Structure 1
Amino acid sequence: MKPENRDYSLSRRQLLKTAAAGSATLALAGLAAPTIARSQPTELMVTCGGGDWLELLKKAWYNDYAKVGIPINPQPYKGLAELKAMVEAKAWGQADIVLGSAGDAAMAQAMGLSEPIDYSIVDKSSLLAGTYDDNYIIVDVAASVLAWNTDAFPAGKEPKSWTEFFSPDLKSPRGLFKGSNQTLEIATLSRGIAIKDLYPFDITKALDVLQKVRDSIAWYEGGAQSQQMITSREVDLAMLWINRADTLVQDKRPVNYTPTNTVLDGDAIIIPKGHPNKDAAMKFAAYMASPEPQARLTNLVALGPSNTKAIPLCDPARLARTAMDPKYASTNRFQDFKWLAANADKLNAEWNKWLLG
């Protein structure tokens, strides 16, 4: 997942459109308000970023949890380095829960920076394979999708696969995330590798794919930048994060995308190792793993649920804009977060060497 603040920006018009989404009330066993009221703390600090993304989280999750649990006090986004510093210093006043990337969650688990998830409290029975591990759960499903400018590629002329996207015969400028995460995976998929056989992938061969089109790549480092590049025709096609692509489509910009044959990631619940408020944090994790809050988020933004029981609770039209819609889901796969964490040093070293070469 991308190493930027998870700012899933929507236009003001899009926020007004989605603000009326349903808000089902959740009553989890063991989360009755009197029980929470007698426990400590009296609020939970959750790191999650700000802006439009925070407003979406309030509508989908936080406002409701204040009714069935305790108030959420949002904190600035924290990455892996900040989590490590917090745990080592026992600086618990910064956060009770880190809502971070699945990649960071896997790394935190490997580095001993997170608490094990108590699966006697958190129900994983309906969670999709690949969305949970010993120390984290993924609570929404994102994707990097093949997107194109419809002025450059009219209907019927659009690129239909990563193989076409990376073809040296295609002279169009193309946008890619300036990072190894997911960029190397889609380069591997362009070689005709079946998505089920993606991992472990050959780093050298993935870089060879990129090398053949190097002169036509325009790099982006953030979501807003990627949107600007494709709408302004700086690039004709791009790997976009699905929520970013969908926002452009809903705003009737000249962009379209396909949520198929791609890798999935998402936001994950991480409880810092040794945190004194881990019991209260675990109850919040149980809430986040449940279907109703996840469905509410999907009904607001193009991120799918990780809980299969949330699928029938989603507005079908909203679900169809995600990579978890039944007609797309079987063509996609989650990143192998454990393999990526184990090979992070090698991946980053080879990636940086290639970028500088």
Structure 2
Amino acid sequence: MHRKAKIGMIGLRGWGNVVRKALLQCQNLELVAIWSRDPESIARAQRELPCKACETYEALLAEPIDAVLIVNPNYLHFEYCMSAARANKHVLVEKPMTNTVAEGKQLVDEFKKRGLLLCVKHMHRFSPPMRKLREMVENGTFGKILSVETYTSHSSSKNFPPDRWKRDPKLCPAAPLTQLGVHYIDTVMSFLGKPEWVQSEHRNILKLSENVDCTVTMIGYEKAVATFHAHYVVPAYSRIAVYGTEGIGLFEEGGQLRFKKEGGKDFEIVPVPPGDGLVAALDEFGETLLTGKPYETPGEVALLVVAAAEAAIKSAAENGRRVSLSEVM
């Protein structure tokens, strides 16, 4: 029988429900313990994927588990990751790793000092269309990349309850960017490498809370530039376009990956298997725990995403000034 790595999980509400159900499809991970302050979340989790329900987070960390899966709000990541490190547990944490570079650096250093894995679940880069785009970039299909354009949105902020943490810019700075835009920031980084500079404009169009609801960000890399549109008051939609001297690649939500080569009349469909990358990101973490294979988005890589977001926030606060990544690192 194939051995699975045993994990505990916290963060059982909202997106945590989706992640927990994805664990049912994993070949390398087994959920054996959970913890939540919410009795309803515990009951729902036990119906869907029965396992031990711990009374405290400390009790979960004391279980004979290989790692902790942390899917709670961003502003809590630092506290719960640090507790896991002190209990000598490996961690897979939801993106973004932290709200600030300072906290991210502390986590990376703490886990490294203890010889523990700190991995961040940037699932978007694991999806088949993004995998294929990366392959096409790397094998020269696009020629020289000039630019990448991304867009992602949904309108959930129109229905946030008054106490929703994403309404508070202190708990969730630049919400559309740090909740939605970071998916593409990480993915494009897997194509183009480390960001060098960032410019951004943030607006609060509908003024439903103190937080912004619209962000437009430009990031410069060694040989290309990418734009990232992220909105919280527009119907759900996502899109990426890669522009190169030898072709154009397009992928949009609900559609197919398409490519138009130099000299071609029309876009041609590029076959890719289905999947959003979630199960793949989880299973690769399991493989890392079982075999020692390096995880694709460890803390050191995820820290660059946090830095890009922090630089964007700094840029927006300074009237769109171009901010070097080194300023926030």
* Short-chain TM bin: 0.3 to 0.5
TM-score by length of 1: 0.34
Report which of the two has the higher share of strand.
Answer: 2
Question: Greater relative contact order: 1 or 2 (C-alpha under 8 angstroms, separation 6 or more)?
Answer: 1
Q: TM-score, normalised by structure 2?
A: 0.36
